[in-house]
Amino acid sequence: MGQDRLGEIADEVYGASPEGFVAARDRHADAAAEAGETELAADVRRLRKPTRAAWAVNLLARQRGDLLDRLLTLGEELRAAQQELRGEALRRLNRQRHEVLSGLTRQARQLAADAGHPLSGDAVRQVEQTLTAALADPDAAAGVRSGRLDRALAGDSGFGAPPTRPAPRAGGAKPRSTATGARKAPASDRKRGGDELDRQRRGRIETELAEARQRLRDAEAEVERARSELAERDAEREEVRRRRTELVAELGELAEELAGIRDRRQESERRVRSAERTAGTARRRVDQLAGRLGQI
């Protein structure tokens, strides 16, 4: 029962905004403590605030679980293809892996921006690393799907070049001795051996080509991310410049207003001094008249 309750609280707390996490956690911990559930209160207080990248992945899991499920299913297919040594399937799935990862990373970045917390370039890379880890590791996949990550996950996808078996000998025969008197292999055997070598060479080239294309797509995606980040910095710079211009203009207006106030204050001071002199003269006249009246 306690673990179920902790899970419910964690679901709610990790669904909070970055600035609302601590308040939500402490509110639940205080409520548990007041109810006498000291162990639950301690467990709740141990919940760690997620990094910005972990928060974005949690947001993705909660709002676009359908897309995340596609990634995790793809990870299962990739692991099965690698275990069964299905090279062609692995190459095809690796191409899908790049497309799905790029799409999910863009989606997480967009969700974070829509929530008012745009991701930095480092945070975007950590999001992609976390999703990549979920592809290769079922435990990482479960953590990502839970929507309760407190930090980004690291690790290689584990899906490199398709595995290959040692090339079998032609016809399954042992190599013949090259000693004097040994017969040469028939022409048909030599042709089959040559065809086998050609197939192996072609397979290696196709694998290298697929890897090169994958690296190109990764590089192009990195260029896109870098350009997007540069555009964000340019926009921030222009916003700061605009605000500076507004503040300079406002400062000029305030300086003019201050000068006007200073002039009006000086005029008020002159009027005070003049009024004080008039009052002093009137006071002396009153005193004189009062004295004369007392003598009559």
Q: pLDDT digit string (tens) for 30-55?
A: 999 999 999 999 999 999 999 999 99
Here the tokens at position 75 are 């990870």
Count of domains observed in the chain: 2
Asked if residue 152 is part of any domain, the answer here is no
Domain check: are 62 and 13 in the same one? no
Domain boundaries, position 75? 52-146
154 confidence band (pLDDT: 50, 70, 90): confident
Give pLDDT, residue 85. Answer: 58
Give pLDDT, residue 14. Answer: 94
- Whether the pLDDT of residue 155 is over 90: the answer is no
pLDDT, mean of residues 199-227: 77
pLDDT, mean of residues 147-171: 56
**Domain C-terminal end among 146, 171, 189:** 146
Give pLDDT, residue 24. Answer: 94
Domain check: are 15 and 94 in the same one? no
Domain check: are 69 and 101 in the same one? yes
Asked if residue 165 is part of any domain, the answer here is no
**67-125 pLDDT tens trace:** 888 888 877 776 776 656 555 665 666 667 778 888 889 999 999 999 999 999 888 99
Domain check: are 22 and 56 in the same one? no
Here the tokens at position 119 are 């991701």
Domain check: are 109 and 40 in the same one? no
Domain check: are 67 and 99 in the same one? yes
Asked if residue 23 is part of any domain, the answer here is yes
Give pLDDT, residue 86. Answer: 58
Give pLDDT, residue 227. Answer: 82
Give pLDDT, residue 169. Answer: 34
DSSP 161: S
Give pLDDT, residue 104. Answer: 87
CA–CA separation, 59 vs 64, rounded Å? 8
Asked if residue 191 is part of any domain, the answer here is no
pLDDT, mean of residues 144-156: 85
Q: What is the DSSP string of 262-275?
A: HHHHHHHHHHHHHH
Asked if residue 85 is part of any domain, the answer here is yes
pTM of the model: 0.51
Domain check: are 30 and 8 in the same one? yes
Return the percentage of the chain with pLDDT > 70, whole number.
Answer: 78
**234-256 pLDDT tens trace:** 888 888 888 898 899 889 888 98
* CA-to-CA dists, residue 76 to 79, 137, 180, 207, 214, angstroms: 5, 9, 55, 21, 20
Report, in this order, helix, strand and coil percent for the chain, each rounded to 5: 80, 0, 20
Asked if residue 261 is part of any domain, the answer here is no
Here the tokens at position 235 are 């926009």
**Domain C-terminal end among 126, 146, 166:** 146
Identity (one letter) of the amino acid at 132?
Answer: T
Asked if residue 292 is part of any domain, the answer here is no
Domain check: are 24 and 59 in the same one? no
Q: What is the DSSP string of 64-125?
A: -HHHHHHHHHHHHHHHHHHHTT-HHHHHHHHHHHHHHHHHHHHHHHHHHHHTT-PPPHHHHH
Domain check: are 64 and 103 in the same one? yes
Domain check: are 41 and 61 in the same one? no
Return the percentage of the chain with pLDDT > 90, whole number.
Answer: 39
Domain check: are 58 and 126 in the same one? yes
Asked if residue 88 is part of any domain, the answer here is yes
Give pLDDT, residue 88. Answer: 65
- Whether the pLDDT of residue 17 is over 50: the answer is yes
- Whether the pLDDT of residue 147 is over 90: the answer is yes
165 confidence band (pLDDT: 50, 70, 90): very low
Q: Name the more confident of 93 and 187.
A: 93
Domain check: are 62 and 123 in the same one? yes
pLDDT, mean of residues 217-233: 79
